Structure 1
């Protein structure tokens, strides 16, 4: 019976070591797998359209991961550079005028372009803040991403009473790829200090990974406990 606690302690240490190793290795392995999966996906789309005389794999006779992705990035950068000058802008406008004449294609093109311009625009304030709203009933709070002030007809109709309305996006847990777009009074939203990335991690983990919060003005706790006099 004297060996039982020691055996339990050894088993506990092995279990803790395994869990620690799993926490270290699993995110690294998943990140590497996702990275190479994305590279292979990009290569499968771009590499078949590369002329053979310009393909490095033809001369080396060895598959080089990332060749298609690198070429795609270079081409996109060149197109962006050309699209800024007068001639390139004229070509882009001509191509868009053709797309705008196609009933179904123009709807898809305008929607995708508007989404990308909103997301990639440097001055955009979309999803740069997180907040809390009472949902689905009073006393129950849900995490939302702030998309911006209500605009256009929505602002004209909802702001008629003088209450400023803002748009919020309420995603589900644990996959925040869909959700509800709602317009609520600004006074009903509790703004948070956490970043959208921290809010996304909180949602994906189901509340298990909460960002560290340090209230402004609160002193930093001491790393070493103060030494108390003997007898106290």
Structure 2
């Protein structure tokens, strides 16, 4: 009986490991499609209420599956193409100036824009390196990501080089902790950010690959004198 129970448990866990990655992938994609469709439906509803005679067309467009995802993706692509020219950049500066004049919106818009520019800019340093840091206490180590260096009035209070790091939680790395640590206390890992994220999400099960170190010349047995 115990052997059958062990086999049943083994088969169940094996089947779970087969379907779990696919299920989570489908869930994430479904959530993303829902976000895009939500944006599209909100724009469609606004157009329906502002433009006379738009109701019939709006009802037809609502019934087309996947149309919201395609149109929102096309809008993002067209916006990217538009702001890469001189006129588009001028329009973007005018829009930023307008947002910065609105008291409450200014704080939210500026903060989100700075974070987005830091994360997605090709010249930024955010999440460009995986680090090994001691957290939440000395002797306890975890994976972190470099987000930059302390600046402004904060940097004036430090008497040694510091770095800003993000320590994600597991298995959900979208939440975590922002820390400022001495540069000498962090260890830069020779692994990609993707490998580090896999290590965090899997709670240490999927270890990053070991980096093969070349043999010194004098210790290389194949070296010929």
TM class by shorter chain equals 0.7 to 0.9
Relative to the length of structure 2, the TM-score reads 0.75
| Superimposed CA distance per residue, residues 1-58 of structure 1 (whole angstroms, 9 cap, x where no aligned partner) | xxx8xx93x66555434332221122112312331232133213204535769x7993
Q: 1:41 aligns with which of 30, 35, 42?
A: 35
Equivalent positions of 1:13-92 (< 5 A) are 13-47=7-41, 49-50=43-44, 58=60, 63-64=64-65, 66-92=66-92
> What is the match of residue 198 of structure 1?
195
Does 1:217 find its partner at 2:193?
A: no
Report the count of equivalent residues. 207
> What is the match of residue 147 of structure 2?
147
Q: Which has more radius of gyration?
A: 1
Q: Distance in 1 between matches of 2:32 and 2:211?
A: 37
| Superimposed CA distance per residue, residues 174-219 of structure 1 (whole angstroms, 9 cap, x where no aligned partner) | 333333322222221122123323323333333333223234237x
> What is the match of residue 165 of structure 2?
168
Q: Distance in 1 between matches of 2:20 and 2:134?
A: 36
Counterpart contact for 1:47–1:67, Cα < 8 Å: no
**Divergent runs of 4+, >4 A:** 10-15, 50-53
Q: Cα distance, 1:170 vs. partner?
A: 2.1
Instruction: Structure 1: give runs of 5+ residues left out of the alignment.
Output: 219-232
> What is the match of residue 107 of structure 1?
107
Instruction: Structure 2: give runs of 5+ residues left out of the alignment.
Output: 48-53, 216-225
Counterpart contact for 2:39–2:72, Cα < 8 Å: no
Relative to the length of structure 1, the TM-score reads 0.73
